[in-house]
Structure 1
Amino acid sequence: MILRLHTRPEIGRLVEDLPGKVTLPGDPVFEQNRRVLFDPDGCVPAALVRGASPADISRVIGFARQHGFDLAIRGGGHSSAGHGTVDGGIVIDLRDLDDVAVDEPTSTVWVGGGATVRAVLKALEPHGLVVGFGDSGDVGVGGIVSGGGIGYLSRLHGATIDSVLAAEVVLADGRFVMAGPDSEPDLFWAIRGGGGNFGVITRIQFQARPLPAFTGGMLVLPGTAETIAAFVAAAQTAPEALSAIAMVMPAPPAPFIPEAYKDKLVLFAMMAFAGPDDAAAAALAPFRALGPVFDAVKPGPLLSLYDGPGGEPPGMPETRTFFVDRISKDAARTIVGFLTESDSAMRMVQIRVLGGAVNRVPSGDTAYAHRDAQIMMFLANFYSDPADRSKRSKWVDDLMSALRQEHEGAYVNFLGDEGPARTRSAYPGPTWDRLRRIKRQYDPENVFRRNQNIPPASA
């Protein structure tokens, strides 16, 4: 691969200012360190900086502003739009901000903004504590917090942001502040769902919760319309201690998939129940009654749900995210039809049933404001040849249009490179207006714009 080198003499000053923390094109580890999960533009940064403190990050921000470099903030690198990198700009890599400090008497934990979900859960496990995150162990904690956080414990404990007590943030002017209910309250409200628009989150304090017993794992069901609709109905009426993330997709050639189901549609469901074994068995019974072709759901640690290998994605995804209130049999037939007719090597419809604690938080309490939403949908259709991108984009657009109901919102953490209108759809009117005012207060020059961008309000 031939790198497009972006050589500017000013970068030498950054190397001198932060010795040992700056990696440039041509360095043997540059190619490895610049990688993110998805990079649709093939970005080659001018420099990668592994900041180990708020002071380091403040210096980089000041340097970038002085010399006109675009900035990208890399946590876990999972942005489907590739926002964790930037062509010709400077990437602030947070992976060295990975400390996790548990305070058992108060059941709280301070977490570095670059720590991964898996690292936090592993540190909490010996204490019998947990924080609810998403469904990937490799995601950076700062990234998931900035968008909301919907995962295996959301119905019981709410979104990830509902457990945040405080956060240390480095601002566009280089200051670092502590944001909480009584200190920088507007900033505290905005960073819980407003994306990476307001600063770099370097530390977060969470209220952890006890997890005395857990049952979870994969349940694979036939991917028929009847099974899909019945599964969603069961998930919506299940106890709040049960959450499920379902993916309808063609069965891969995995050893646990019966030969009769190879290449046919299946419903992969990751099941999670926080509670005693007997209560788990009762809660899981309606799902097992649907006739699984593979059942690996069993008592064990929550961490077991995050142990699967991430692997390389099968190309670049065209994705869409939106909310619905129900999945009827007709809607399930539409899902089956679209998945069956697509010829891409990988396509998927993911369904996350919400409700419970997520819905009990008033919509104005955090920048993630879709508190009345019942089901989160995520569509993905992958391509390897850029010439196929428009075809895959049309597929996700058409399927979204066919499934849309009354709710017009979107989940910001699952948005791809879809344009300002889709970013706007992540925030209802009053939320958007307030976020723009806060953006003007904390980042009036839009320094942090490599994200699902919220422009500052006019003065």
Structure 2
Amino acid sequence: MNVHMRANTPKITPLLAIAIEGLVMRVRGRIVTPEESDYDDIRGLAHSNWDQRPLFVARVVDAADVADVVDFARRHQLEIAVRSGGHSVCGYSGSEGGVVIDLRDLNGLDLDMDDMSVWAGSGLTAGQVTKALDEHGVAIGFGDSATVGIGGLTLGGGVGYLTRKLGLTIDSLIAAEIVTASGNILTINETSHPELFWAVRGGGGNFGVVTRFRYRLNPLPEFVGGPLILPATAENLAGFVAAAKLAPDELTTILLAMPAPPLPFIPPHLVGQTVLMGMMAYAGSVADAQAALAPFRGLTTPIADLVRPGPYGMMYMPEDPSMKPTLSVRTLFKSGIDVAEAAEILARLGQCSAPMRLAQIRILGGAAGRVPAEATAYAHRDADLLIGFMAMDGSAEAAARHDIWATGCVSALGGATRGTYVNFLAEEGPEALRASYTSLTWQRLQEVKRRYDPTNLFRRNQNISPA
């Protein structure tokens, strides 16, 4: 390969060019430099807030490739970014002038139905894994978007449609393969490197590059789910949240207050008007689901009711891969929402100019809340609600305005006084990150960081400094 430069690309010295040539010869995957015709496509992220131009993107195919690229970056003192699905809300999946380790070709899925476990490559998306598992009547509780990579989602905790029934994604994690800062390839679990295994379950990508996850498979022979759309009143919003908190563990809900999309089941006169879209996920039989759903259907006459039996994967709404909006997001934990707070949420939505703006309310508890707080690095087992304010638009200038709007929304509900979920934490400073863990958890994470990454090589993340 002949490494040369285009305009507005990272600077490559002659010596570095020779080193890259050597790396190209060693790895089994592909090193994509700025000269390649698909460089811009490959470096792109899910959101357009950032336009980062890495020195190269390493499309690795196995853990040995990852170890080689990690060693290269360490020797040349280059920043490392790790990409699974590219949905980092801070743009940490990319790098300006550094090295991106792109895991998308780590897409193997080794299913063992006798052992009820699966090894999944960290480049897979939640949708890809879920679709494969649907065929066997089993599930892992990932997030609420099919295109999000299982890598970052799992390492931060994993809050989704089965949280109350199965717990967080990390609660189904039983082992992982990880490349550390020293280039070692380790298989970690409760008995092998147990402190590192504890840390990766909620501590993010601070401790190495996870190349494979081993999950416990959870039986899911019957499932009922889909959207229940209600008029956007303060009473309906508060009533929905109250009913969701009292629901059986089999029912996990995510409530979206948002402009009604132009879908066939939405009356034309409501398109663009704020509605409440309750995403209902019942892990059980149709008969039991009807009883659990009755309080929600009894709140008011629904605008549309598409809750139905089917595979769990139907919960993932269609996404247009060509859409790459800018994203603004701020979140907080709360114990509940009364009518006055619900009215405030709806009023705040009306103050945002973004074409897509929403308040997202995730009802937690259930199985996720029964795991001891010290069992994993995830720090919010006792939280009842996770509330997010999000805005999607088309420019960095708009994103800056919407950041201010989202911050104001959180403040209006009392502020993120107990920290927030690290996977949704924007660039809000070290104090916000520090507040997202308990004091003891933070200290323990720093000790693990000191042992496995003492020079903070893996720092392009919600960074935990070594003790």
Q: Does 1:320 align with 2:330?
A: yes
Structure 2 residue aligned with 1:79, among 85, 88, 108?
88
The farther-off stretch of 38-47 and 356-365 is 38-47
Quote the residue 1:167 is aligned against: 176
User: 1:269 aligns to what?
Assistant: 278
CA-CA distance at 1:89 after TM superposition: 0.9
- AA aligned to 2:403 is S
Could you tell me which amino acid in structure 2 is paired with residue 186 of structure 1?
E
Deviation at 1:246, TM superposition (A): 1.1
Query: How many residue pairs end up in the alignment?
Result: 456
For structure 2, the 5+ residue unaligned runs are 1-5
Does 1:283 find its partner at 2:292? yes
Q: Distance in 2 between the 1:23 and 1:406 partners?
A: 40
- Distance in 1 (CA, whole Å) between partners of 2:26 and 2:92 is 25
Shift of 1:204: 1.1
Letter of the 1:13 counterpart: G
Q: Distance in 2 between matches of 1:326 and 1:85?
A: 36
Please report how far the alpha carbon of residue 311 of structure 1 lies from its aligned counterpart in structure 2 after TM superposition. Answer: 4.3
Aligned to 1:136: 145
**1:292-441 alignment, distance < 5 Å:** 292-313=302-323, 315-404=325-414, 408-441=418-451
> Residue type matched to 1:243 in 2?
T
Change (3 A) 1:314 1:178: closer
Structure 1 residues 340 and 361: CA distance shift in structure 2, 3 A: same
Deviation by residue 1:111-144 (Cα, 9 ceiling, x = unmatched): 1111111222222222221111111111111211
Q: CA RMSD in A?
A: 1.6
Aligned with 2:207: secondary structure?
A: coil
- 3-state SS of the aligned residue for 1:395? helix
Map Cα deviations across residues 273-298 of structure 1 (whole Å, 9 max, x no partner).
01111001111111112221011110
Q: Distance in 2 between matches of 1:158 and 1:177?
A: 26
Aligned to 2:200: 191
Q: 1:236 to 1:174 in 2, by over 3 A?
A: same
The TM-score, its normalising length taken from structure 2, stands at 0.94
The two structures have a TM-score, normalised by structure 1, of: 0.96
Distance in 1 (CA, whole Å) between partners of 2:349 and 2:219 is: 40
Amino acid in structure 2 at the alignment position of 1:384: G
Are residues 303 and 406 of structure 1, via their aligned partners in 2, closer, same or farther at CA, if it must alter by over 3 Å?
closer
Which range moved further: 28-37 or 52-61?
28-37
Q: Which amino acid aligns with 1:232?
A: V
Give percent identity, aligned residues only. Answer: 45
> Structure 1 regions of 5+ residues with no counterpart?
none
**Structure 1 stretch 392-401 or stretch 364-373: which is displaced more?**
392-401
Whether the aligned pair in 1 keeps the contact of 2:238 and 2:342 (CA below 8 Å) is yes
d(CA) in 1 for partners of 2:431 and 2:197?
A: 25
Partners of 1:208 and 1:100 lie apart in 2 by 13
Show the counterpart of 2:3: none
Shift of 1:262: 2.5
The alignment status of 1:112 with 2:121, answered yes or no, reads yes
> Per-residue deviation at 1:40?
2.5
Q: Is the 8 A contact 1:314 1:346 kept in 2?
A: no
The answer to whether the 8 Å contact 2:226/2:315 transfers is: yes
Distance 1:61 1:429 in 2: 31
Distance 1:27 1:442, change over 3 A: same
Aligned counterpart in structure 2 of residue 214 of structure 1, from 223, 227, 232: 223
